[in-house]
Amino acid sequence: MRPSLCTALLLLSPVAALAAPATSVDFSHDDWTIACDNTRTCRAAGYQADDSDPPVSVLLTRKAGAGQAVTAELMLGQYDKVKMPASLSLQIDQRNQGKLALDGKRGTAVLTSAQVGALLAALPRSSKIVALGNDGRRWQLSDRGAAAVLLKMDEFQGRIGTRGALVRKGDRDETAVLPPLPAPQVRAAKLAAAQAGDARLGTLPALYQALRATLPADEECKGLDASAASEPLNVTRLTNDKLLVSTDCWMGAYNIGTGFWVVNARAPFTPTLVTLHASDLDGATILESQKGRGLGDCYSQAAWTWDGRRFVLTSKSTSGLCRLVAAGGAWELPTVVADVKQ
């Protein structure tokens, strides 16, 4: 059975492992969502109220560490082609917060520090937050769920009870807040040249049997179905003694999932499952990209990079909530990042 989009299976093993300890946050509440990655940078995105128009979103970003300011960027809905206003201003509870620096081609605006401060003060309480176009059009941002999401950001970065907290402020200074962590460095290894007989390995019944034994109890892979006339496994040589084998595992209404395993080049194959939800193989990197729904306004993505010994999870992200803000999603909200060297 295929799991939901945002709960892709991440198996840790000698050949499939996180690039860093799984210190991250992925949380949504009402019209807001947050993702904090393994460097402790947090990104929170808010949207218009569900089932309301026109679409709009704001992205709040804060790096870890003392004295780090919040930055904010607004995006006007552009999933359907719309004419952008010539100018845009921010209003909070009918008070004008000044013009927004609108990029008419991208439909985005970076907020000033004063506008960010006014927005952060308004979000935890019931407020009316509107981007007002010079032509009278109004894009209203929901504050439902903002307080819970901003509290989650404070908690993850160790700011609760400090003067720099966004929600639950206190008298402590920020000297003891959690510091930022460096993005782990991963060097992608070159793949070995194919050898005669590699393709034949993809037809061996013993290999199919070994791969089936790795499937979780609630997962299936049709490419390994013993009752069907299975296609040969795709075989890619990684090293002199390791192979990457793959097969199509499932197909949904708008997504597909390919399974990838690292195996010994000869029996016993001792396979290790990397993922059952991949979309492609690009050189030494396994890629996953899944739509959240058929409209294609939200995605999740992941990548695993071969470092010569194992496949390391080097990126994992979503594009935020499915709110018709932009084709492909409005933002990139990572929970895993890495510095990949080729």
Query: pLDDT for 34-54, tens place per residue?
Result: 999 999 999 999 999 998 999
pLDDT category at 253 given cuts 50, 70, 90 is: very high
Select from 76, 253, 283, 261 the least CA-distant residue to 191: 283
- Domain ranges for the chain: 5-19+184-341, 25-157
- What pTM was computed for the model? 0.90
Q: Give the count of beta carbons closer than 10 Å to the beta carbon of residue 278.
A: 23
Task: Give helix then strand counts, H and E, for the chain.
Answer: 4, 22
229 pLDDT exceeds 80? no
Give the pLDDT of residue 226: 74
Give the pLDDT of residue 23: 83
Give the pLDDT of residue 2: 41
d(CA 132, CA 121): 19
204 pLDDT exceeds 80? yes
15 vs 75, residue with greater confidence? 75
145 pLDDT exceeds 80? yes
pLDDT tens-digit profile of 274-308? Answer: 999 999 999 999 999 999 999 999 999 999 999 99
- The pLDDT of 9-21, averaged and rounded, is 42
d(CA 49, CA 329): 16
pLDDT category at 230 given cuts 50, 70, 90 is: low
Q: Is the dihedral of CA 288, 294, 296, 299 positive or negative?
A: negative
Give the pLDDT of residue 274: 98
pLDDT category at 30 given cuts 50, 70, 90 is: very high
What are the residues whose beta carbons fall under 8 Å from the beta carbon of 319, sequence distance 6 or more?
292, 298, 299, 300, 328, 329, 330, 331, 332, 333
Output the average pLDDT for the chain: 92
What are the residues whose beta carbons fall under 8 Å from the beta carbon of 55, sequence distance 6 or more?
47, 48, 76, 77, 79, 139, 323, 324, 325
Give the pLDDT of residue 35: 98
pLDDT category at 197 given cuts 50, 70, 90 is: very high
* CATH fold group of domain 25-157: Immunoglobulin-like (2.60.40)
Q: Is residue 241 helix, strand or coil?
A: coil
